[in-house]
Structure 1
Amino acid sequence: MTLGLGITLGAIIGLLIVSAFFSGSETALTAASRARMHGLEEDDNKRAKLVNRLLSSRERLIGAILLGNNLANIAASALATTLFLSVFGEAGVAYATIVMTVVVVVFAEVLPKTYAIVNADRMALAVAPLIRVIVAVFAPVTRAMQLLVRQTLKLFGAEVGEDTDVLAAHEEIRGAIELHHKEGGVVKVTRDMLGGVLDLRELTVSDIMVHRTNMDALDADLPPGEIVDAALKSSHTRLPLWRGEREEIVGVLHARPLLRALRDSKGDVSKIDVMALATPPWFVPDTTNLKDQLNAFLKRKAHFAIVVDEYGEVMGVLTLEDIIEEIVGEITDETDIAAALAKPQVDGSLIVDGIVPIRDVNRLMDWDLPDEEATTIAGLVIHEAQTIPNPGQAFTFHDFRFEVLRRQRNRVTSLRVTPLGKAATVAAKEDNAAS
């Protein structure tokens, strides 16, 4: 009798060790760094290659591990119930339930998972060969389980494909960047640059273009002298040329061939044919995402494009520098206008020009103002207020207070934006009521 109890107890302990192995392996393999495993595989590490192969079929991997884990837990619980019944009688069922719950949770779940989280890469490399065998052995059962799960989900209207991935790769990267930034491993500037690269596929040229109302363009019908003077005074090296109406762009004048023509004519501007120096305008749709537009700039070896809407109407201009600034931040050189359009204040508020994009404000102040319904700060205020506010009016939304400082005709030209604490929210609501 004593020998039989000892064998049963030994079997229970063995099954708990197996359960702990499965629990730790699951956590280690799912928490292992894909980037590090890929790097090790590139260095011809066979175990890293095996880890990547297992993770490439994640559903089958998890199915096999869960199957083995549950078989071990159920078998251990059944043996424990038999053991306790033989020792304590009918009360043994209750004792077995209590004891096995504590033992399984502590020693077969929490302890191995905690170790696996701390040593994910090392443990993943260690368990990969054995897990590969287990996955192969359980393959027929896991396939049947996958089929059953998919068919069951279909009954509830959920389609799960073979290659379904809950989290897209670039979102996974974005989450990792944010996590490392919060932990202090990535500074804000680096986080913004990496985030800017990921945002290129989500933004369109209309989000960052220079709007036609702010577009620096020249009338092609002006005398050559006036065009040359205006081009030399401009802070831009490429200027659209229009004829008849400002939206009728007929060419793009570059400062370099203009200066070369001035040299060849020995300063006699009357001999310069501006339209002969201009290049044909390149029109791009306003719905093009920045990733595709960047590739188009590189392919054409161009730096400047005219943005048009679906009706062919000119919306604005876009340069290669505009896209680069979405990644590295504002680029300022000696030809740029020195006026600051966004000035942080000592009290934590921001005095900002209405035309400043919301994305630039968020990047400058590390805020999270929404930019789905509007591109600029003024546009956000007008959208939320459902009116064009007057100077002195203040509004509160998204936990910020927006005070209109200046307005020119129908344009809000200057605002003060202040983040609100809980205590200030009540006072700000009174501002909205008064407005």
Structure 2
Amino acid sequence: MSVEGALAFLATYWPEILSITALVLMSAFFSGSETALTAVSRSRIHTLEVNGDERAGLVRQLIERRDRLIGALLIGNNLANILSSSIATSLFLGLFGSSGVALATLAMTVILVIFAEVLPKSWAISTPDRFALAIAVPARLFVLVVGPISSFVNAIVRRILALFGINLSREVSMLTAHEELRGAVDLLHREGSVVKADRDRLGGVLDLGELELSDIMVHRTAMRAINADDPPEAVVRAILESPYTRMPLWRGTIDNIIGVVHAKDLLRALAEPNMEPQNLDIVKIAQKPWFVPDSTNLEDQLNAFLRRKQHFAVVVDEYGEVQGIVTLEDILEEIVGDISDEHDIEIQGVRQEADGSVVVDGGVPIRDLNRALDWNLPDEEATTIAGLVIHESMTIPEERQAFTFYGKRFIVMKREKNRITKLRIRPAGEDGAKPV
């Protein structure tokens, strides 16, 4: 076609060409807006709104009603696409006759896919926050106008789905807030934006409501306690030699905890005039014990510690029998973990071997291993690594027995009576995902 012919074509059909161009741009606007407002970071928008950005406030209002927003944008997008295709079909029919329908369909498909779908959506998804702020005002105006129609359409959709037993609520997330936060932190860690130590601390906070005291307590078999009937000199020596500032006091049986002795109270008592260790009555300086059920979750127990301004509690089961002890520090360690280089292993009872294996005491908690070594061993059915081996093997293994599950090879190195006291763990084959 010559230049003169092209100019004549534009002069004749400029209204149709201009209309199609405007409608394609409108479709691109709706497509990009839908993508940006769906992918926008709610936390980032909240921060911008708090800092005084009025457009961020408009974006927040839009995404609070996602069903109404998406419905309105889809209505605008489809209207623009259908109308532009209709005008193009009419134009091509006048130019090419009956074959114009096929030519118009082909041409508009290419134009709409490239310029009204892929291009604006790619642009929007690359910078969703910036894009959302840029289109906030016109999108808000459009939703105000078309919103009632969108709500009517959504109501029809809900009624149709209800006929098939599908109840579609307005704002229901498939994930809880904690799950969304955990997923975001894990994703950012894999992308390198969040270091492992920060991921573990944030994960520890999110896990508080899911863990019970039985998961982190010092079990009664490892608990250091004082017999109230021991000679006063032996009691004083045991307290002063202990690395702990608080120790439970029992009489008759370990299930009969009658108090908690604080080393500072002992020192105050010994500092009294004419006070000799052999004359000390340890029961009088002991504080009243605080008993808590082993099913209490860590979040509630942390709040209870802070509310009562106490650091120490005795954990009992449903029958009132002592199961162990828990301290405020135990819960805080679930959040902050160990202060060490993220590649070092500094858990008590864990030793890295030169051959790549790890020698572990049976009583080491699974959660501590997972955190230090970035493993994913399950801790739903067992608290310690020895408990996991017994649970998966469904027996009490003998020494030198080996088992493979969850991608690890577990070798029993030492057993005392019915307790596994030492294990060697090394990587197994990639297919070792199930117990063998």
TM-score using structure 2 length: 0.91
Cα displacement (A) at 1:267: 5.5
* C-alpha distance in 1 between matches for 2:355 and 2:120: 50
CA-based RMSD of the aligned residues comes to 2.3
Contact 1:265 1:272 in 2 (8 A): no
Work out which of the residue numbers 96, 118, 123 in structure 2 matches 1:110. 118
Q: Does 1:11 align with 2:22?
A: no
Instruction: Give the Cα separation in 1 of the matches to 2:314 and 2:163.
Output: 51
| Residues matched between the structures, number | 423
> What is the aligned partner in structure 2 of residue 370 from structure 1?
378
Match of 1:384 among 387, 392, 397: 392
8 A contact 2:69–2:147 mirrored in 1: no
Partner in structure 2 of residue 253 of structure 1 = 261
- For 2:170 and 2:395, the matched residues in 1 are separated by 50
Equivalent in the alignment of 2:303: 295
Q: Aligned AA for 2:392?
A: E
- Pair 1:322–1:22, CA change in 2 (3 A): same
1:322 aligns with 2:330: yes
Cα distance, 1:167–1:67 mapped onto 2, change above 3 Å? farther
- Contact 1:325/1:331 (<8 A) preserved: no
- Provide the secondary structure at the position in 1 that maps to 2:421: strand
1:100 is matched with 108
CA distance in 2, matches of 1:362, 1:394: 20
2:132 aligned with 1:119, yes or no? no
Deviates more, 1:218-227 or 1:373-382: 218-227
Report the secondary structure of 2:47's partner residue. helix
Structure 1 window deviating more from structure 2 (95-104 vs 2-11): it is 2-11
Distance 1:45 1:223 in 2: 71
The one-letter amino acid paired with 1:369 is L
Residue 4 of structure 1 deviates from its aligned partner by 6.3
* 1:150 aligned residue: 158
Which residue identity does 1:23 align to in structure 2? S
Specify which of 61, 66, 70 is matched with residue 58 of structure 1. 66
Structure-2 change in CA distance of 1:77 and 1:265 (3 Å): farther
Residue by residue, what CA displacement relative to the aligned partner does 1:127-183 show, whole Å, maximum 9, x if unpaired? 111111111112222212222233333334333334422332232222222222222
Equivalent in the alignment of 1:200: 208
Deviation at 1:339?
Answer: 8.5
Write the letter of the residue equivalent to 1:278. A
Task: Work out the CA distance in 1 between the residues paired with 2:94 and 2:185.
Answer: 57
Matched position secondary structure for 2:363: coil
- Following superposition, the deviation at residue 99 of structure 1 comes to 2.5
The partner residue of 2:409 within 395, 401, 404 is: 401
Q: Match of 2:80?
A: 72
Secondary structure at the counterpart of residue 271 of structure 2: helix
On the 8 A contact 1:405/1:415 being kept in 2, the answer is yes
Letter in 2 for 1:167: L
Separation in 2 of the partners of 1:84 and 1:311?
Answer: 85
**Aligned twin of 2:190:** 182
User: Which stretch shifts more, 282-291 or 79-88?
Assistant: 79-88
Superposition deviation, residue 265 in structure 1: 5.2
Answer yes or no: is the 8 Å Cα contact 1:215–1:317 preserved in 2: yes
Contact conserved, 1:29 with 1:51, CA < 8 A, in 2? Answer: yes
Which residue does 2:240 correspond to in 1? 232
Using the TM superposition, give the Cα deviation of residue 347 of structure 1 relative to its aligned residue in structure 2, in angstroms. Answer: 3.6
The question of whether the paired residues in 2 share the 8 Å contact of 1:403 and 1:417 is answered with yes
- Aligned-residue offset at 1:121: 1.6
Q: Does 1:277 align with 2:285?
A: yes
Give the 3 Å change call, closer, same or farther, for CA 273–92 of structure 1 in structure 2. same
SS at match of 2:415: strand
Q: Secondary structure at the match of 1:8?
A: helix
Structure 2 Cα separation of the partners of residues 228 and 234 of structure 1? 10
Unaligned stretches of 5+ residues in structure 1: 333-337
Quick one: percent identity of the two aligned structures?
56
Runs of 4+ in 1 over 6 A off after TM superposition: none
Q: Distance in 2 between the 1:342 and 1:282 partners?
A: 32
Q: Is the 8 A contact 1:26 1:62 kept in 2?
A: yes
**Is the contact made by 2:247 and 2:262 (CA closer than 8 Å) also made in structure 1?**
yes
Change in CA separation of 1:179 and 1:90 when aligned onto 2, cut-off 3 Å: same
Kindly tell me: are residues 416 and 245 of structure 1, through their superposed partners in 2, closer, same or farther at Cα, counting changes over 3 Å?
Answer: same
Q: CA deviation at 1:394?
A: 0.9
Cross-structure match for 1:350: 358
Distance 1:350 1:229 in 2: 36
